[in-house]
């Protein structure tokens, strides 16, 4: 049976009970209860503003604060009882407050709407969530950077178009993904700045008619700024959309890395072995060791994309200010947070425990990957690069025609393609010399990779301050 108007924050206008199916359809307490702490923090700040505006007495304020503290303790201990009439976290907390302190509880909502209350709760919750995700991402990046430093001397094939391209350092590959994740962290800090704007005091749409000190609210809740326009403050969810897009892009970076690691861990590559702690087996085939951790990291990206796209579709047709459609914001926000929180931690575990097979990695290098080096050899002899590229291509074709590795072509063979080839061409066929020539910033030479490691270490230290 639906509940009487006395348990609702909006019941006075209505006669009779809400349909039971509608009651359940309308409720959000099943998921928005996780904002209980943010809701209480917002209410504690708001009652202080009410007291300053002389809308509650000091005694009433203290009674409300004590009641809210008790409610917080009940949530913390898991003893808070959600009742059938608790439509959302705001209703639940206010209902419980009335049970504890009676009449003064009815003054807490003076001049406040659920429209500005819920968006305040969301901003407080997301601000904390962003701090947690930042810590998760920094732990992963630190793990990757230190692994890159420790294994800087390991060479293996770099790939483009899934074809062997050029020799690179294993550390260079690691850092390519660490750099992408560092951009994610930087972007997340920018989003946090825009999240950290106070909407409380905006009312439902027009603002508040009472002398509510919004600057006091800002300081109490540690917001950086105050919303400029009450209609925008209660109706916009740009900060949620930004967070969902951030989660989508970060998931893309993690999925891309997971895909590479999956390939490298197959028997066909055998470049690395995943820890048993991050692998599973087959219910039928005893020999199987499946990279389920990486497969799930990859698959979760699709889940996050769906949340982002779905919420954008909700937003695109809405009229101005608050509409109940915006209730869809919280599940998307919570789910993307939960997903990234788990994925970042699992990825850190994978990267900290996998074992590389250095001999296999370096054995996978092949002379044809030095074809570009052969062209550079000719460039250093004075030949224009476009012409040198063509000459090197002819050498590759000759080696393929003779069914031999590129470095097995004789000096006489190469001389038929260009007279610039001399006995010093033998220096080209050295993989370590090859990677060492890429010493410009950002390259795969040891000095360059070491500089990247140092740059990221300094960046991590700066963020830790």
pLDDT higher than threshold 70 for residue 198: yes
Average pLDDT over residues 333-359: 98
Q: φ, ψ for residue 376 (rounded to 5)?
A: -65, -35
Q: Is the pLDDT of residue 260 over 60?
A: yes
Which residues lie closer than 8 Å to 270 by C-beta, 6 or more apart?
Answer: 357, 360
Query: Residue 161 catalytic?
Result: yes
Question: pLDDT at position 323, please?
Answer: 94
Per DSSP, the three-state class of 288 is coil
Could you report the per-residue pLDDT of 390-448, keeping only the tens digit for each?
999 999 999 999 999 999 999 999 999 999 999 999 999 999 999 999 999 999 999 99
Q: How confident is the model at residue 14 (pLDDT cuts 50, 70, 90)?
A: low
Mean pLDDT of 343-363: 98
Q: How far apart are CA 332 and CA 353, in angstroms?
A: 32
- For the chain, percent of residues with pLDDT exceeding 70: 97
Q: How confident is the model at residue 6 (pLDDT cuts 50, 70, 90)?
A: very low
Q: Reply yes or no on whether 90 is catalytic.
A: no
Catalytic option among 161, 283, 401, 423: 161
Contact present, 349 and 139 (Cβ < 8 Å): no
Angle, vertex CA 180, rays to CA 179 and CA 185, nearest 5: 90
Query: Which residue is it, tokens 């991402």?
Result: 137
In whole numbers, what is the pLDDT of the chain averaged over residues?
A: 95
H or E stretch including 273? strand 272-273
- Annotated catalytic residue within 4, 76, 275, 282: 282
Give 133-173 as a DSSP string. HHHHHHHHHHHHHHHHHHTTT-EEEEEETTEEEEEEEHHHH
H-run or E-run covering 126 = helix 114-150
Q: Where is 355: in which H helix or E strand? A: strand 355-356
How do residues 24-52 score in pLDDT, each as one tens digit?
Answer: 898 999 999 999 999 999 999 999 999 99
């Amino acid at each position: 049976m639906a509940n009487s108007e006395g348990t609702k924050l909006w019941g006075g206008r209505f006669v009779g009970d809400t349909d039971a199916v509608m009651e359940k359809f309308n409720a959000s307490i099943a998921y928005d209860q996780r904002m209980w702490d943010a809701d209480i923090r917002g209410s504690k700040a708001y009652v202080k503003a009410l007291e300053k505006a002389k809308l509650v007495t000091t005694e009433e304020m203290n009674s409300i604060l004590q009641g809210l503290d008790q409610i917080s303790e009940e949530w913390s201990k898991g003893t808070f009882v959600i009742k059938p009439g608790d439509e959302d976290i705001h209703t639940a907390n206010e209902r419980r407050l009335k049970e504890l302190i009676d009449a003064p509880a009815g003054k807490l909502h003076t001049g406040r709407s659920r429209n500005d209350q819920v968006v305040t709760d969301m901003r407080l919750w997301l601000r904390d969530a962003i701090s947690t995700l930042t810590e998760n991402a920094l732990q992963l990046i630190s793990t990757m950077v230190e692994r890159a430093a420790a294994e800087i001397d390991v060479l293996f094939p770099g790939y483009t178009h899934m074809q062997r391209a050029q020799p690179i350092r294993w550390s260079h590959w690691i850092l390519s993904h660490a750099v992408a994740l560092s951009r994610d962290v930087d972007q997340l800090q920018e989003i946090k700045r825009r999240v950290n704007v106070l909407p409380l005091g905006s009312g439902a749409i027009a603002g508040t008619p009472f002398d509510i000190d919004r600057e006091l609210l800002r300081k109490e809740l540690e917001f950086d700024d105050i919303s400029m326009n009450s209609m925008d403050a209660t109706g916009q969810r740009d900060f949620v959309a930004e967070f969902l897009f951030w989660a989508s892009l970060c998931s893309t970076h993690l999925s891309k890395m997971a895909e590479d690691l999956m390939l490298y861990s197959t028997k066909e590559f055998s470049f690395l072995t995943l820890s048993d702690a991050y692998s599973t087996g087959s219910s039928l085939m005893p020999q199987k060791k499946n990279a389920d951790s990486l497969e799930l990291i990859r698959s979760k990206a699709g889940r996050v994309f769906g949340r982002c796209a779905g919420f954008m579709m909700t937003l695109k047709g809405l009229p101005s200010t608050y509409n109940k459609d915006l209730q869809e914001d919280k599940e998307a926000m919570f789910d993307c947070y939960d997903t990234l929180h788990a994925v970042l931690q699992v990825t850190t575990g994978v990267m900290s425990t996998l074992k590389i097979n250095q001999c296999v990695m370096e054995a996978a290098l092949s002379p044809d990957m030095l074809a570009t080096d052969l062209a550079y050899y000719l460039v250093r002899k004075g030949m224009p690069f476009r012409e040198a590229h063509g000459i090197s291509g002819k050498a590759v074709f000759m080696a393929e025609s003779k069914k031999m590795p590129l470095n097995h072509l004789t000096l006489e063979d190469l001389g038929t393609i260009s007279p610039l080839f001399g006995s010093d061409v033998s220096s080209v066929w050295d993989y370590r010399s090859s990677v060492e020539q890429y010493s410009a910033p950002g390259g795969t030479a040891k000095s360059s990779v070491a500089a990247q490691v140092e740059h990221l270490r300094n960046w991590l230290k700066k963020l830790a301050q």
